[in-house]
Every structure is written in structure tokens, then in C-alpha cells.
């Protein structure tokens, strides 16, 4: 399996070339692929981060994204098994990276997780490779 690494600061054209087999050539743009990858990766890595902080998520996190490159922000929301409101915000830094081989690693972001408004983690890397 090929290792996939995305540097969110790369131009959309380079992302399109890197993700040609992922649908970029089917009418999507590199920006679309990057947003989808960022949302899906944040949801998976965020779930692990909440679990490690002692706040297991009930079901899946739902994530949205806005901006691109160094202005990329991914916001994820969900509910803990105890009924708490979980929210995670990940703001891209100068060298954001998402790796998907062997589990998701989401790094180079300022990542803050809260439950019921109380901060439960603050990291620059979440996921399997951190």
C-alpha cells in the first residue's frame, strides 16, 4: 500500500496530481480532495484523541472544514458516551500534514478538544503516529 501524505499548504494543482487516483480527475479539485481528506482524517484521529483524554465518543465525530493551506480549519463535533458535547477545532500551522498509512496521523495543526466547553486536550499531533 502506498503511503499518502498531504501537506495542506501545497497548491491545489499539486494536490490534484498527488490524488489523481482519488477522484481529482473526475471533476473534483485538489481543494475538494484536501477538504474531504482533512475532514475524514480529523474525525478518525479526533475520536482517538478524545478516547485518550478519557472521553469516549458515542458514534462518530462529524467534521466540517473551511479555508485552505495555512488557513485551513477543521471543526468536529459529537457526543460522548456520557452525553457530553464534544468539539474539536484544528487550525493549520505553517506545515500541516495528514498521513493515512497504518492509521491516521494529523499533525502540524493547533488542535483543541473540549467537552461541555471544558478543554480536555491541546495538541499539535493526534492519531496513531503521534
CA distance 89 to 71: 13
Tell me the average pLDDT of the chain. 79
* pLDDT for position 50: 98
Q: Could you read off the pLDDT of 38-60 as tens digits, one per residue?
A: 999 999 999 999 999 999 999 99
The grid cell for 40 is 475524514
* pLDDT for position 34: 67
The single residue listed with the C-alpha cell 485538489 is 30
Helix (H, G, I), strand (E, B) or coil at 4: coil
CA distance 127 to 57: 15
* pLDDT for position 63: 97
Q: Could you read off the pLDDT of 103-130 as tens digits, one per residue?
A: 899 999 999 999 999 999 999 999 998 9
Percent of all residues in the chain with a pLDDT value above 70, rounded to a whole number: 74
Which segments within 2-117 are labelled E, that is strand? 5-7, 57-66, 73-80, 85-99, 105-115
Amino acid at each position: 500500500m502506498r503511503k499518502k501524505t498531504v501537506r495542506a499548504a501545497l497548491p491545489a494543482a499539486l494536490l490534484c496530481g498527488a490524488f489523481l487516483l482519488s477522484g481529482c480527475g473526475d471533476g473534483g479539485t485538489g481543494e475538494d480532495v484536501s477538504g474531504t481528506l482533512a475532514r475524514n482524517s480529523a474525525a478518525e484521529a479526533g475520536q482517538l484523541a478524545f478516547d485518550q483524554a478519557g472521553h469516549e465518543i458515542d458514534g462518530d465525530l462529524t467534521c466540517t472544514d473551511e479555508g485552505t493551506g495555512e488557513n485551513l480549519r477543521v471543526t468536529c463535533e459529537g457526543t460522548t458516551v456520557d452525553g457530553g458535547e464534544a468539539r474539536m477545532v484544528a487550525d493549520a500551522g505553517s506545515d500541516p500534514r495528514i498521513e493515512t498509512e497504518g492509521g491516521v496521523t494529523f499533525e502540524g495543526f493547533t488542535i483543541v478538544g473540549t467537552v461541555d466547553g471544558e478543554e480536555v486536550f491541546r495538541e499539535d499531533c493526534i492519531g496513531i503516529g503521534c
